[in-house]
C-alpha cells in the first residue's frame, strides 16, 4: 500500500507572505549587525556613522524663519543644506511636545519656536534629537515657585513627569546676553539631554556619557588642570554642586564663549565638543 504526499502549489498570497517574512528577517539582521558595528566605529572615531537622514523634510513658515535668523546666530552660520535640516528638526520638535503657558503667559509661536530652537541646536549633532524624556514644556512669565524644594526657580527638569519648566523672562535674557555663560534654555535642556542619555539607549547617548566620563577622568588624573579650572573661575561655582550641574554649566560655557573655552582649556573643550558631536562653524 502506497501513501502519496500531495503538496499544494503556493498561491501568490503565500509568496507574498514568504517574501515579507524574509524581508523582515533581513532588515532585523542588518539592524542588529549595524548597531554593533556602529558602536565599535563610534567608540573609535567618537562620532556616529551618520547624523542626518530623513524620508521627507518638514519646514517652518517664512515668518518663523525670519524670527529664527534674528534670534539665533547658530542658525545663520549653518550651510543652506544644514539650515533645511534644522528647520525640519525644529518643526518636528514643536509638533512632538506639548507647550503650556502658566500664570497667564500666552503660548505664542515665538515662545514655542525659540525654546524649541535651543533644544534643536544642542542636539544638532545627534541622530535622535527629539529628547524622548520630555513630553511637556511649561513656561512661566518669570521665576516660579517649585514644590521640588519649596523655593523659587528660573527653570527645572522633572524626569519622572517628563516635564521641562522655564521662566520666559530668564530664558529671553539668556538669548539676549550671549557672552556671560548664563543661558537658562541651554542649561535646562542640557539636564534633559544628560538624563535622557542614561534612560534611552542610542548611539549619541552612549557617546555623550562616554565623553563625559573621559572628561571627569581627565580632571581626576590631572590635578593641576582641575586646580587651574577652579582658580580661573571660568565656570561659576554652581558647576561644582554635582555632576549634573557640572554638565549643564560646562555646556552653557561651550555654547556661549567657545573661543575663550578653547583657549583656556583645550582638552576640556574637546571633550565637551565630543559629547555633543558639535562640529559646526564657530566651534
pTM for the whole thing?
0.87
Number of structural domains in the chain: 1
**Average pLDDT over the chain, rounded to whole?**
89
- Classify residue 7: in a domain, yes or no: no
The arithmetic mean of pLDDT across residues 42-61, rounded, is 85
pLDDT, residue 6, reads 56
Rg of the chain in Å (alpha carbons):
23
- Classify residue 42: in a domain, yes or no: no
C-alpha 40 chain-centroid distance = 22
Residue 201: band (very low, low, confident or very high) from pLDDT cuts 50, 70, 90: confident
- Classify residue 89: in a domain, yes or no: yes
The arithmetic mean of pLDDT across residues 257-280, rounded, is 97
The arithmetic mean of pLDDT across residues 181-201, rounded, is 95
pLDDT above 90 covers what percent of the chain? 76
- Classify residue 257: in a domain, yes or no: yes
Contacts for 166 with CB less than 8 Å, ≥ 6 apart: 115, 137, 138, 139, 140, 154, 155, 184, 185, 188
- Classify residue 46: in a domain, yes or no: no
Per residue in 139-159, pLDDT tens?
999 999 988 787 889 999 999
- Classify residue 128: in a domain, yes or no: yes
Contacts for 271 with CB less than 8 Å, ≥ 6 apart: 211, 212, 214, 215, 218
pLDDT, residue 30, reads 47
pLDDT, residue 19, reads 60
Name the residue among 110, 161, 115 with its Cα closest to residue 135. 161
Minimum mean pLDDT among 171-175, 201-205, 269-273: which range? 201-205
Tell me the CATH number at 175.
Answer: 1.10.472.150
Q: Are 116 and 75 in contact, with CB atoms under 8 Å apart?
A: no
- Classify residue 79: in a domain, yes or no: yes
Contacts for 46 with CB less than 8 Å, ≥ 6 apart: 207, 211, 274
pLDDT, residue 115, reads 98
- Classify residue 266: in a domain, yes or no: yes
Q: Are 207 and 274 in contact, with CB atoms under 8 Å apart?
A: yes
Per residue in 81-91, pLDDT tens?
999 999 999 99
Q: Show the domain range for 109.
A: 62-276
Amino acid at each position: 500500500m502506497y501513501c502519496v504526499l500531495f503538496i499544494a502549489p503556493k498561491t501568490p498570497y503565500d509568496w507574498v507572505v514568504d517574501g515579507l517574512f524574509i524581508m523582515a528577517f533581513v532588515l532585523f539582521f542588518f539592524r542588529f549587525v549595524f548597531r554593533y558595528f556602529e558602536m565599535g566605529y563610534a567608540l573609535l572615531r567618537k562620532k556616529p556613522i551618520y547624523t542626518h537622514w530623513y524620508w521627507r523634510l518638514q519646514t517652518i513658515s517664512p515668518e518663523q524663519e525670519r524670527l529664527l535668523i534674528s534670534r539665533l546666530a547658530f542658525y545663520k552660520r549653518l550651510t543652506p543644506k544644514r539650515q533645511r535640516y534644522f528647520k525640519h528638526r525644529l518643526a518636528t520638535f514643536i509638533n512632538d511636545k506639548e507647550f503650556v503657558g502658566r500664570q497667564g503667559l500666552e503660548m505664542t509661536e515665538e515662545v514655542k519656536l525659540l525654546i524649541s530652537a535651543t533644544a534643536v541646536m544642542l542636539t544638532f549633532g545627534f541622530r535622535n534629537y527629539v529628547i524622548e524624556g520630555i513630553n511637556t514644556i511649561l513656561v512661566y512669565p518669570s521665576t516660579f515657585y517649585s514644590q521640588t524644594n519649596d523655593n523659587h526657580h528660573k527653570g527645572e527638569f522633572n524626569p519622572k513627569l517628563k516635564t521641562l519648566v522655564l521662566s520666559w523672562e530668564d530664558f529671553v535674557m539668556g538669548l539676549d546676553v550671549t557672552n556671560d555663560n548664563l543661558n537658562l534654555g541651554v542649561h535646562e535642556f542640557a539636564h534633559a539631554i544628560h538624563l535622557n542619555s542614561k534612560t534611552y539607549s542610542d548611539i549619541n547617548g552612549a557617546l555623550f556619557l562616554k565623553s563625559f566620563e573621559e572628561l571627569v577622568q581627565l580632571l581626576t588624573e590631572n590635578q593641576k588642570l582641575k586646580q587651574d579650572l577652579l582658580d580661573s573661575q571660568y565656570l561659576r561655582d554652581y558647576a561644582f554642586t554635582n555632576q549634573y550641574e557640572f554638565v549643564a554649566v560646562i555646556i552653557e560655557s561651550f555654547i556661549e564663549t567657545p573661543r575663550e573655552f578653547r583657549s583656556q582649556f583645550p582638552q576640556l573643550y574637546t571633550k565637551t565638543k565630543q559629547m555633543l558631536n558639535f562640529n559646526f562653524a564657530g566651534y
